C-alpha cells in the first residue's frame, strides 16, 4: 500500500499547477526533489511553502514557483548539457538533474559548494558536478551548454555566459539593478544571433564577480 503524500506537499504541487506550471516533466521533477532536504533545519517546517528561504552566506533558496517557472522556460531534454550559475543549497541543480543529461553548477562560496556537493552525492544525483568558481568568468575549457540558468541577478547579460551558450541553446537570467525591478529574460541563440524575450518581474540576490575569499 502506497503512503499518501503529506498535506503540505500536496498543496505545494497543487499551487504550482494553479499558478500555471503545466510541463509534466517539470512537475514530476518538482515533486520528486525533497525541498525539505535543501533548507536549514530551522526552516524545515516551511520547506513546502511557496516562498524563498534564507541559507548560509547570505543567500537564499528560491521560491518553488520561480524554480519551476525558470526550469519550464528552459525546455530541457534528456540529452542536454545544462549550466547553473549559483548553486546555493543545490535545490535547483537537483531539479535540473532529473531533466538533463548532465549539470554543471558553479558557486562562488566554497561553504555552499561543499555542502551542496555532499548533499547531492548523498541523495545520488550523480549527473551533477558542483564547482567552486566565478560563474561570470568561466574558462573556455568548460565547453558549451544547451541550457544555462542564472540564479542571481545581473545588471546586463554577461558576454562570458553568452559565449558558453551553444547554437539552439536557451538561457534564463534575471536582469536588473540589485535594489530595483529585475526582469527574467529568456535568450535563444539561433544561427543568426540572439532572440531575447522578457518574461516576468523577479527579485534575486545580485551576482557578484569573483570567488568568496573565506566562505
Q: List residues with catalytic annotation.
A: 62
What residues have CB less than 8 Å from 160, skipping those under 6 apart? 136, 137, 138
What residues have CB less than 8 Å from 70, skipping those under 6 apart? 62, 92, 149, 151, 172, 184
Pick the closest to residue 172 from 191, 198, 135, 203 (CA basis). 198
* Helix-helix angle 64-74:7-18, to 10 degrees: 50
Using CA atoms, how far apart are residues 65 and 47, in angstroms rounded to an integer? Answer: 13
Q: How many residues does the chain have?
A: 215
What the block records as the C-alpha cell of 125 is 544525483
67, 47 Cβ separation under 8 angstroms: no
Amino acid at each position: 500500500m502506497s503512503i499518501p503524500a503529506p498535506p503540505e506537499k500536496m498543496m505545494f504541487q497543487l499551487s504550482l499547477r494553479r499558478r500555471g506550471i503545466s510541463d509534466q516533466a517539470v512537475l514530476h521533477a518538482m515533486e520528486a526533489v525533497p525541498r525539505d532536504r535543501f533548507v536549514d533545519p530551522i526552516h524545515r517546517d516551511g520547506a513546502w511553502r511557496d516562498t524563498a528561504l534564507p541559507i548560509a552566506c547570505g543567500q537564499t533558496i528560491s521560491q518553488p514557483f520561480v524554480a519551476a517557472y525558470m526550469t519550464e522556460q528552459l525546455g530541457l531534454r534528456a540529452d542536454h548539457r545544462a549550466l547553473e550559475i549559483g548553486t546555493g543549497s543545490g535545490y535547483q541543480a537537483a531539479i535540473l538533474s532529473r531533466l538533463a543529461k548532465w549539470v554543471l553548477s558553479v558557486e562562488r562560496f566554497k561553504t555552499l559548494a561543499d555542502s551542496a556537493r555532499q548533499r547531492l552525492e548523498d541523495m545520488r544525483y550523480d549527473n551533477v558536478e558542483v564547482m567552486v568558481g566565478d560563474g561570470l568568468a568561466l574558462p573556455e575549457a568548460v565547453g558549451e551548454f544547451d541550457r544555462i540558468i542564472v540564479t542571481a541577478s545581473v545588471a546586463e547579460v554577461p558576454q562570458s555566459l553568452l559565449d558558453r551558450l551553444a547554437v539552439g541553446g536557451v538561457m534564463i537570467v534575471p536582469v536588473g539593478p540589485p535594489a530595483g525591478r529585475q526582469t527574467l529574460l529568456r535568450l535563444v541563440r539561433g544561427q543568426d544571433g540572439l532572440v531575447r524575450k522578457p518574461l516576468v518581474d523577479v527579485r534575486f540576490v545580485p551576482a557578484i564577480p569573483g570567488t568568496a575569499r573565506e566562505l
